[in-house]
Amino acid sequence: MRKIKIFDTTLRDGEQSPGVNLSTNEKVEIALQLERLGVDLIEAGFAASSPGDFQSVQAVANKIKNCTVVSLSRSVEKDIDRAWEALKGAENPCIHVFLATSPIHRQYKLRMSKEEVLRQAEAAVRYAKKYMSEIEFSPEDAGRTEIDFLCEVTERVIKAGATRLNIPDTVGYKTPTEFADIFVQLRQRVPGIETIDLSAHCHDDLGLAVANSLAAIQAGVTVIEGTINGIGERAGNAAIEEVALALETRKDFYQATTGLNLKEIARTSRLVSRLTGMIVPGNKAVVGANAFAHESGIHQDGVLKEQTTYEIIRPETVGFSSNKLVLGKHSGRHAFKDKLVELGYDLTVEQVDKLFVKFKDLADRKKNVTDEDIMALVEERLVDVPTTYSLDYVQVSYGSLSVPTATVKVSYLGREAKEEAATGNGSVDSIYKAIERATQESVELLDYKIASVTDGTDALGEVYVRLRQNGITVQGRGVSTDVLEASAKAYIDAINKIVARRGDIKDELEITGNISISAG
């Protein structure tokens, strides 16, 4: 049984998803969960792209102990220097150097000849090698690169010291057969390739990212690159959880496995969804809300008689609980603490005490409290954002024949409280206008999303908002059994993040030369 290493790029390629902008603390939180999940490599970011990215890579490198921490780098010395500065506190650092190789990129983007590309790729790997032993090289747009030239590039970077060669299907163009053949050709034609790891990095533009990744495994790769929930540039990347479960479920066919703790998949998926604001579709494989749901009477009858009739994966395998009803308003602190431990949360006494108060309030408002409710409650309360503004109350007046009016009371630093009222086109609009008046923070609302955490009319509602102010874009989240209260909480949460991030704006990378800033 071959071991397939998992290279997670949620924090780098995943953050390139439109509208996603993670803070350093959020990246560290995700990285720690990826470590618990058991991934082998974490690409923490692109250290040279901005001060914020450098800080994030450095923070993850200093925090993670059981995974290799990677920083992306263009094939230029200043980028490599910056990557090393960010990574030097890591237990197991790696620089991921890339350079485009396809004809279309050489002609229109790089304006470089084949020989110039070969020289720059080789020089970059040699330069990075002076800092650390583990170097990954990616020929960007390898899927559309001539196989003869790809073999030349591969041979040169191996001689220069690359320890892992990543073949990215950068635009999701290849079919599984075509993509697998690239690895077959490289393994047959490149001297020394047996001494390094071969990696596959697939995009999902044609919906083939997971299929291509699995085809690459059959062709002999030892590393698969992807993201949690398949997020990423454009249509996204290969979904790590789907690759892992395909290998687990079809061991008989692939004869390969990962080292992932599969029970952490559901929690990891939820965390990434919460922090990025990218809601997982109900029909998403492995982690979608409907992945283990059965509507058809025939299917229900079959599953009740024998689960394997229509379920090839047990929900418990990936960390979903089959026991939905857990606690209620009569439950005590001890039972609540035991449930937190059962769900995998290691909290301080002070954190448990604060959460217990919120739990009791929720239990009074909701008849049945589920694991998902508790997880949502915990995750909302543990966000490490300074509380500049806090919502004391929100009151909304609405009727189909009247103008929606909202009144809010907002405290500043827990001391100064201000009450404001406003009218709007709807209840949410009036709430947000009232909060703007109370906080004196003028912002632009870029996105508003609402989702249900659990079932029923008393279900917890999650609201996500995306706000922008003077180049700072943040996401806020609020949870409540009342969607209007959740909307207000999400807006306040986002404003607090804006206040916290001022002076730490993620600048656009100043492009020098003709090297692209995107890879894979």
CA 189 to chain centre: 36
In CATH, what number does 2-276 get? 3.20.20.70
- What the block records as the tokens of 142 is 């390898």
Task: Read off the pTM.
Answer: 0.81
Q: What is the dihedral of CA 361, 465, 242, 37, to 10 degrees?
A: -60
CA 371 to chain centre: 22
pLDDT for 335: 79
Alpha-carbon distance values, 469 to 19, 495, 498, 501 (Å): 14, 9, 7, 11
With a cut of 50, say whether residue 253 has pLDDT above it.
yes
pLDDT for 511: 31
CATH superfamily assigned to domain 389-501: Alpha-isopropylmalate synthase LeuA, regulatory domain (3.30.160.270)
pLDDT for 155: 98
- What the block records as the tokens of 334 is 């001890």
Between 251 and 378, residue with greater pLDDT: 251
Backbone angles phi, psi at 267, to 5 degrees: -65, -40
User: What CA–CA distance (Å, rounded) separates 368 from 324?
Assistant: 9
Between 427 and 512, residue with greater pLDDT: 427
pLDDT for 154: 98
Confidence band (pLDDT; 50, 70, 90) for 379? Answer: low
Return the closest-CA partner of residue 359 out of 177, 503, 481: 481
Strand, helix or coil for residue 40: coil
pLDDT for 269: 95
User: What CA–CA distance (Å, rounded) separates 380 from 301?
Assistant: 38
Instruction: Please say whether the beta carbons of 233 and 518 come within 8 A.
Output: yes
Residues 283-342: pLDDT tens digits? 999 998 888 765 556 665 665 677 677 678 888 899 886 544 457 777 788 878 887 877
User: What CA–CA distance (Å, rounded) separates 125 from 135?
Assistant: 7
Classify residue 187 by burial, with Cβ atoms within 10 Å: 0-12, 13-18, 19+.
Answer: middle
User: What CA–CA distance (Å, rounded) separates 13 from 172?
Assistant: 14
With a cut of 50, say whether residue 515 has pLDDT above it.
no
| pLDDT over 70 percentage in the chain | 90
Strand, helix or coil for residue 407: strand
pLDDT for 312: 85
Strand, helix or coil for residue 75: coil
Cβ neighbours of residue 357 closer than 8 Å, sequence gap 6 or more: none
Residues 180-233: pLDDT tens digits? 999 999 999 999 999 999 999 999 999 999 999 999 999 999 999 999 999 999
- What are the counts of helices (DSSP H) followed by strands (DSSP E) for the chain? 17, 18
Q: What is the dihedral of CA 412, 415, 421, 422, to 10 degrees?
A: 0
The DSSP 8-state label assigned to residue 110 in this structure reads I
Residues 85-95: pLDDT tens digits? 999 999 999 99
Q: Rg of the chain's alpha carbons, rounded to an integer?
A: 25
Give the mean pLDDT of 160-166: 98
How many residues are recorded in the chain? 520
Structure-token match 């709807």, residue found: 426
Instruction: Please say whether the beta carbons of 95 and 82 come within 8 A.
Output: no
Return the closest-CA partner of residue 116 out of 132, 105, 130: 105
Give the mean pLDDT of 349-374: 80
Residues 71-120: pLDDT tens digits? 999 999 999 999 999 999 999 999 999 999 999 999 999 999 999 999 99
> What are the domain boundaries of the chain?
2-276, 321-381, 389-501
Alpha-carbon distance values, 104 to 100, 107, 116, 145, 387 (Å): 9, 5, 15, 9, 49
Confidence band (pLDDT; 50, 70, 90) for 510? Answer: very low
Alpha-carbon distance values, 239 to 63, 200, 202, 209, 223 (Å): 25, 13, 9, 8, 14
Q: What rounded mean pLDDT belongs to the chain?
A: 89
With a cut of 60, say whether residue 425 has pLDDT above it.
yes
Strand, helix or coil for residue 321: coil
- What the block records as the tokens of 294 is 């059965």
pLDDT for 509: 35
At 98, the amino acid letter reads: F
Equal CATH topology for 2-276 and 389-501: no
Instruction: Please say whether the beta carbons of 75 and 516 come within 8 A.
Output: no
| pLDDT over 90 percentage in the chain | 65
Cβ neighbours of residue 38 closer than 8 Å, sequence gap 6 or more: 6, 258, 259, 260, 261, 264
Return the closest-CA partner of residue 155 out of 199, 198, 191: 191
Minimum mean pLDDT among 59-68, 290-299, 338-347, 392-401: which range? 290-299
Going by DSSP bridges, is the β-strand pair 93-100/135-140 parallel, antiparallel, or unpaired?
Answer: parallel
User: What CA–CA distance (Å, rounded) separates 118 from 300?
Assistant: 59
pLDDT for 517: 45
Give the mean pLDDT of 357-364: 83
At 73, the amino acid letter reads: S
